[in-house]
Amino acid sequence: MKILIAPLNWGLGHATRCIPLIRKYIAEKNEVVLAGDGDSLLLLKRTFPTLRIVSLAPLRLTYSRSASQTWAVLRSLPALIRFSVRDHKRLARFLHNEHFDLVISDNRFGLFPPSRRPEGTVFVYLTHQLHIRLPRFWRWLEPLAYRLHRSVYRRFDQLWVPDFAEEDKRLAGFLSSGGERENARYIGPLSRMQPAQQSCSDYHTVAVLSGLEPQRTLFEQQLVKRYEKSGETLLIVRGKVGMPFVRTRHNNITLVPSLPDELLVPILQGAEHIVSRSGYSSVMDFAALNLLGKAELIPTPGQPEQEYLAAYISRRTPSPACAT
């Protein structure tokens, strides 16, 4: 088969959870083409340097510096709509000249079948958020948000949910529920990480950063302030895939822009404590390594989905490490 895989460029999580799918299709001798924009596409390009790359519509979003992202998201809605329209047009032009058997869109709303649908192509929408979590004040609008999102993924041929089918095992809880009503296919959690045979105990605490600016930078600054006088050795993986590798040390704190999985996994396994945003891709990674019990999951301020996931994982994980 010839397969096009395109993750949304909103942090790195959409790209990282596509990595196990890409590896699977390559192992099965399929032809895989990667599509997208920004840092998420750069991460995939570095992970799979021999695969062909196709550029789609660019998405440039930022969060607010405040504890609420509501207005930042609302201000971004026109840009999101324009982005989806441009994405759809680029895909339609691309598919007019080249055939694919399978198109997988990880939350790129515009990659549904074009009006001149190519024969034999299956279009898949990948998401863990069947239900959209809104801030408490806007919670009454969640049924409308659900219907709007449903109107998006129903344009696709198939809906894939990266979570367990069994309700009591689900990592996303309420967010991924209801897939049975939508004929969704629960494909199981997607993590690029696999346990390493040996662990590295060079650091007491490892912080893995990700997400949109300026909240990523603010989180980094908060961690430096929190640990600079603690005496504990701290490694901060900054989540900056576009930066050259430069290791920076400030007394007990070491900062690196990013690390390949073969180096990061042993460090995570050997650490006493892990700090991370409570994005769903991070939850899946720590679950794959059986490390949720020592992960302190800190949601991006004003990000309802991450606030829900941090609280949900804290309730189901027998550890005091998770925090909201």
Range list of H helices, the chain:
13-16, 19-27, 38-47, 70-97, 142-153, 215-227, 261-270, 280-288, 304-316
Tell me the average pLDDT of the chain: 91
Burial class (CB in 10 A: 0-12, 13-18, 19+), 234: buried
pLDDT tens-digit readout, 84-129: 999 999 999 999 999 999 999 999 999 999 998 999 999 999 999 9
Query: Cβ of 12: how many Cβ atoms within 10 Å?
Result: 25
Which pLDDT score, from 0 to 100, does residue 72 have?
A: 58
pLDDT tens-digit readout, 212-237: 888 999 999 999 999 998 989 999 99
**What average pLDDT score do residues 16-25 get?**
98
CB distance 275 to 182 below 8 Å:
no
Among all chains, which residue has been given the structure tokens 């920076």? 248
Local confidence band at 24 (pLDDT 50, 70, 90 cut-offs): very high
Give me the CATH code for the 2-186 domain, please. 3.40.50.2000
Range list of H helices, 159-291:
215-227, 261-270, 280-288
CB distance 277 to 323 below 8 Å:
no
Which pLDDT score, from 0 to 100, does residue 63 have?
A: 60
pTM for the structure as a whole: 0.91
Alpha-carbon torsion, ordered 11, 57, 64, 241, to 10 deg: 30
Which pLDDT score, from 0 to 100, does residue 321 have?
A: 45
Phi, psi of 182, deg, nearest 5: -100, 10
Local confidence band at 141 (pLDDT 50, 70, 90 cut-offs): confident
Which pLDDT score, from 0 to 100, does residue 139 have?
A: 81
Residue 27 has pLDDT above 80, yes or no: yes
Which pLDDT score, from 0 to 100, does residue 172 have?
A: 97
- What percentage of the chain carries pLDDT values higher than 70? 93
**What average pLDDT score do residues 288-303 get?**
94
Residue 42 has pLDDT above 60, yes or no: yes
Which pLDDT score, from 0 to 100, does residue 142 have?
A: 84
